[in-house]
Structure 1
């Protein structure tokens, strides 16, 4: 870009009290302390308490889903969601290589393998068209579902990720996956508050998974949530994430292998206070996105904006630079001035544990890997 110094000045004016300007640090301006003290006073600080129930109700309302289940983090929500849609050891899951490692780790935790399919340039998320090309070449329908002709393994799920809060082209992806009888689990970890054609992300697939980590748009410190419109799946999610304990007033009976993935009431209290502020947080971030849009237009740099018929939460804002060299210069100069920009993730098949996995050409993913840089995106 023409003048990185002008960007540094702009960012510093938006966060005037910060010596080091982080990518996305949490802001606590509501009832956080009040609810935390209330939780401590109640002595219900662990995995049972009124704030866990309230958090689940608030997530249901926010996502327009019928059931939300609080869990300990976003990775846990993905791991359980995949099991709930039928992913079994030895199966395969279609997903994207341009993602945070948790997306793919959740597949591995189910003893399944990822198939890496390319992303779309406009969304930076899983490309329905690339999925269709792959399935037309390698998919084989059998009585119990779709199989990969190359490996002979069942493709048990499709796991798109809404990158930085920008929604994937979900209608086309749903159409393709329904044709091939592949359930969709949405990795909505980064997209709380985002919408696709008027529907909340996380509510379009069979199951959605969210993260409330410390760097997310709202946080519980550490936490996640599973959401669904299928009440039976929701009931099963709650059962599995609470050690598969059969309800009883005093006996301990567990009827299958479950997980101790319960969100503590302390974390839920923090999350409830944060969720109350989500509308104002999104308004603040969208105003920042507008400032960036105008600035980068004068610099001749592509600032990533939401697409028509979508609403992005602008969790992490980003620019697309001309090439790898420009990206390296940008990162070095901004970080040297304590403006903590960062590159997009290294593609998952470059990691040693996933280097052997099947993938398509990844033309778009590699293009974006070389050019995308995240900007400070926190609430001002």
Structure 2
């Protein structure tokens, strides 16, 4: 299997050289827009490309307001702040996620509660979320959701659309309504993914995108905060730009804000990348189909988009039969110059989150021992 898979990957990318997991591609106006930015001298957070990039993402996702940030973690941190999450509060999220999800909570002084994933899209499981709340939470006289044992406020649910596959948003929204919680979507990996024809990151009150170098499109470093409500968007722009009030020359800041502004240089790159987004997404679907055909009928399960969604297939993934098979696949492919990677270690195994509250994590542990990501960058773009 490993030999045939290596041949397939080399056929897809038409090279015998090293094949990375998801390298960025620059074949459009990137250099021209960057040169224009440098010529304008507006290379920092003020410049036309920041506004244009926000508008392009806003139009593509059909969100109410999109606010550019320096990275996806900053977008998540801003969303948590706007949702009223404070030090000591609890936020329900998944143990199977990239560490940035939980780092954003840590920076707030908030604490994660790790809930299991569902085994189809590998995102936060609504059933497991509901069970944990029923067993461990209560609404106080003011309607605040609280942890029964400690009394800590539970403020939000923060699922992550793993590898770009949308989670079961409707069910999570219902849970949020029942328990007076805010839904914040970690949509870092899911630009171009849709839940029931609505773009991820636009169904909760807030969503966060990432444009790191390994994402579908990249700004080098960068993120975007998506806001469902216009008032949230106005406030998000204010607090992420140091909370400075408009004035021709005076410097007055009306609250403690964040310096999370995306530089114009990064936004210029993003504008050029957005012009190629549809082509990149189409290429990635073709690659996913080739992987799906290859693994059909084998002992390996290719992770397909759930029936309620359309995925961007950011990182193609397979579920290996067991840990031994997973390790053999990882060792052979990487030794032959084809980069593959295991999924992240579960968050509660990391020292800074070892004492976090958690529910049963059966499906998360199963995936941790078997998931492998395959090269997924678009080709011909």
Q: How does 1:46-57 map to 2 (within 5 A)?
A: 46-57=44-55
What residue number does 2:78 align with?
80
The CA distance in 1 between the partners of 2:328 and 2:232, in whole Å, is 48
Higher mean Cα deviation, 304-313 or 137-146? 137-146
The CA distance in 2 between the partners of 1:299 and 1:355, in whole Å, is 36
Aligned length, in residue pairs: 378
Whether the aligned pair in 1 keeps the contact of 2:189 and 2:209 (CA below 8 Å) is yes
What residue number does 2:184 align with?
185
Whether the aligned pair in 1 keeps the contact of 2:166 and 2:311 (CA below 8 Å) is yes
Secondary structure of the structure 2 residue equivalent to 1:94: strand
The CA distance in 2 between the partners of 1:310 and 1:378, in whole Å, is 21
What residue number does 2:245 align with?
246
Q: CA deviation at 1:307?
A: 1.2
The CA distance in 1 between the partners of 2:155 and 2:27, in whole Å, is 43
What residue number does 1:339 align with?
338
Q: CA deviation at 1:6?
A: 0.6
What residue number does 1:223 align with?
222
Q: Alpha carbon RMSD of aligned pairs, Å?
A: 0.9
Q: How does 1:193-212 map to 2 (within 5 A)?
A: 193-212=192-211
The CA distance in 2 between the partners of 1:328 and 1:365, in whole Å, is 18
The CA distance in 1 between the partners of 2:276 and 2:130, in whole Å, is 39
What residue number does 1:255 align with?
254
Q: CA deviation at 1:47?
A: 0.3
Q: CA deviation at 1:254?
A: 1.1
Q: CA deviation at 1:276?
A: 1.3
The alignment's TM-score, normalised by the length of structure 2, stands at 0.98
Structure 1 position 376 matched with structure 2 position 375: yes
Alignment partner of 1:126 out of 124, 127, 137: 124
The alignment's TM-score, normalised by the length of structure 1, stands at 0.98
In structure 2, list runs of 5 or more residues that go unmatched.
Answer: none
Whether the aligned pair in 1 keeps the contact of 2:46 and 2:264 (CA below 8 Å) is yes
Higher mean Cα deviation, 207-216 or 242-251? 242-251
The CA distance in 1 between the partners of 2:133 and 2:172, in whole Å, is 12
In structure 1, list runs of 5 or more residues that go unmatched.
Answer: none
Secondary structure of the structure 1 residue equivalent to 2:357: coil
Secondary structure of the structure 2 residue equivalent to 1:115: strand
Residues 114-167 of structure 1 show CA distances to partners (whole Å, capped at 9, x for unaligned) of 000111001100001101001111111121521110221000111000000000
Q: CA deviation at 1:72?
A: 0.1
Structure 1 position 164 matched with structure 2 position 172: no
Alignment partner of 2:23 out of 22, 25, 30: 25
Secondary structure of the structure 1 residue equivalent to 2:226: strand
Name segments (4+ residues, structure 1) moved above 6 Å: none
The CA distance in 2 between the partners of 1:180 and 1:277, in whole Å, is 41
What residue number does 1:302 align with?
301
What residue number does 2:62 align with?
64
The CA distance in 2 between the partners of 1:69 and 1:355, in whole Å, is 33
Secondary structure of the structure 2 residue equivalent to 1:287: helix
What residue number does 1:264 align with?
263
The CA distance in 2 between the partners of 1:123 and 1:206, in whole Å, is 21
